[in-house]
Amino acid sequence: MIHFRQVNKHYGSFHVLKDINLSIEQGEVVVIIGPSGSGKSTLVRCINRLETITSGELIVDGVKVNDKNVDINKLRRNIGMVFQHFNLYPHKTVLQNITLAPIKVLGVSEKEAKETAMYYLEKVGIPDKANAYPAELSGGQQQRVAIARGLAMKPKIMLFDEPTSALDPETIGEVLDVMKTLATEGMTMVVVTHEMGFAREVADRIVFMDKGQILEEASPGEFFAHPREERARLFLSRILSH
Amino acid sequence: MPDYSILIEHWDLYMQGFLHTIKSSVLALIGSLLIGTVMAIFRIAPVRPLNWIGAAYVEFIRNIPLILIVFVFFVGLPALGIRLDSFTAGTLGLTVYTAAFIAEVIRAGILSVPKGQMEAARSSGLTYLQAMWHVILPQAIKIVIPPMGNQFINLVKNSSVLGVIAGLDLMYFGDLISSETFVTFDVYIFVAMFYLVLTIPLSLGVGALERRLARSR
């Protein structure tokens, strides 16, 4: 579904991604962890071309993402994205947030888009907020709306870029629960997170990154019990010890 | 006390000027909003040649006196064989000139919308223009209402440039009445009052709109 082959990315002289090789199959849940500045978010943002790669090859859903002739809007329909800061549209209601892309991009009728939106709002547990504005919701509720917004496009892949990092601890659980449900339903997911409990429980595979490189790729059982790399061990000891 | 008999005796002329000033202002407002929005998007869009066009427009136009831009339409175009009446030439000049300032106001508004908004919109498959129209501009507009109000008020006052090229506006008829009656000061006091009739409600309207949008977020 997603294949990175020898992908490199530079920001000017800064080498953000170094020789990335990574394949993610359909239905897989891959969790990317690592210290800040290690390139995790950049890696995920390359998948829907919010960031461009400098060299190498990146194929998503059979499409070469960085090919000049690629219709990027068409590819992006199939890739939902959830951001750290939710990025809901503040001037639109919850319902309008969710129906905008289905109506404008997929061309579905307003009625059908609303029904779909309500279905996903039920799914994330806040159908009663359909007519509220984002500013009236808690962080956890906003992020669940953002997930519903992504799902309403019926994507093949969902990307999560630190979806719980901006949430207060009490609401993290409700967002993770929604993500767990998605994972069990077979959604292909790429998740950047610092939630080790979620990674251990839900991931099919853990990817550990540091300084723009993938240092380790393993099943969660293996990774958390016996990290091979010294850097990964250090990272885990710091993050799990408190 | 100004001599009100001047106002009463020349009421028709004042009204003609007043209506032309309104007409010119409204046309220039609509035109400059359109051109200004397009130029603002040109300056920001991820397409280099468009950035240059937008920047060239703004830097060139806003750094030339309004009267010279009006002359381009009134004197310059006829030299090329395109003849415009003075009202049209003046209104076009006013439009082109004001658009440069509006472009800057709108550009600042667009840039003040958080980057994540464009990212969220684009990642859902919307095109750049769809994202601009449905997500970015509605948020930018709210931010730019106060500076935009300033531009509109300036626009109404700047329409007096039409007087210089016999554009049938308030200023033109003021001059006319003054040269007929040999009265100067009082004639122009009434001209000023007509401008205030337009600009003060505009000021208050912008303020009210600002407060309403602040509530609705």
Percent of chain B with pLDDT over 70: 99
Cβ neighbors of B49 (< 8 A, separation 6 or more) are none
Q: Would the CB atoms of B126 and A153 count as touching at under 8 Å?
A: no
| Per-residue pLDDT at B214 | 74
Cα gap A37→A32, rounded to integer Å: 13
Q: Determine the residue of chain A that is closest to B121 in CA distance.
A: A101
* Residue B10, pLDDT above cutoff 90: no
Q: Using CA coordinates, name the residue in chain A closest to B126.
A: A105
A interface mutation test: which of B124, B127, B139, B145 has the most A CBs within 10 A? B124
pLDDT given at position A47: 96
**Class of CATH domain B4-216:** mainly alpha
| CA-based nearest distance A149→chain B, Å | 9
Q: Would you call B130 and A104 a contact, using CB atoms and an 8 Å cutoff?
A: yes
pLDDT surpasses 70 at B31: yes
CB contact under 8 A, B120 and A88: yes
Chain mean pLDDT for chain B? 92
Least CB-CB distance to B125: which of A73, A85, A89? Answer: A73
Q: In chain B, what are the domain boundaries?
A: 4-216
Nearest by CB to residue B217, choosing from A76, A133, A150, is A133
Contact between chains at B122 and A87 (C-beta distance less than 8 A): no
Amino acid at B14: Y
Confidence grade of residue B216 (pLDDT, cut at 50, 70, 90) = low
Q: What is the mean pLDDT of each run of 10 residues along chain A (242 residues)?
A: 94 93 95 93 95 94 91 94 96 96 96 96 94 94 96 96 92 93 95 93 94 94 91 88 64
Contact criterion met (CB below 8 Å) for A152 and A102: yes
Residue of A nearest to B123 (CA): A76
pLDDT at B5 over 90: no
With an 8 Å Cβ cutoff, are B125 and A89 in contact? no
Give chain A as a 3 state SS string. Answer: CEEEEEEEEEECCEEEEEEEEEEECCCCEEEEECCCCCCHHHHHHHHCCCCCCCEEEEEECCEECCCCCCCHHHHHHCEEEECCCCCCCCCCCHHHHHHHHHHHHHCCCHHHHHHHHHHHHHHCCCHHHCCCCHHHCCHHHHHHHHHHHHHCCCCCEEEEECCCCCCCHHHHHHHHHHHHHHHHCCCEEEEECCCHHHHHHHCCEEEEEECCEEEEEECHHHHHHCCCCHHHHHHHHHHHCC
Q: What is the pLDDT of residues B74-128, one digit of tens each?
A: 998 888 888 889 999 999 999 999 999 999 999 999 999 999 999 999 999 999 9
Report residue B126 as tokens.
Answer: 């919307």
Residue B217 has pLDDT above 80, yes or no: no
Residues of B in contact with A77 (CB under 8 A): 124-125
Residues B40-56 have pLDDT tens digits of 999 999 999 999 999 99
Phi, psi dihedrals of residue A43, rounded to the nearest 5°: -60, -50
A194: closest CA of chain B, how far (Å) = 21
The confidence score (pLDDT) of residue A2 equals: 95
Q: How far apart are CA A95 and CA A156, in angstroms?
A: 22
Shortest CA distance from B142: residue in chain A? A91
Q: Mean pLDDT across the stretch B131-141? A: 94
Q: State which residue of chain A sits closest to B130, comparing Cα positions.
A: A104
Q: Rounded to a whole number, what is the distance in Å from the CA of A73 to chain B's nearest CA?
A: 4
Q: Residue B134 is nearest to which of A48, A81, A100, comparing CB atoms?
A: A100
**Minimum distance, in Å, between the CA of residue B138 and any CA atom of chain A:** 7
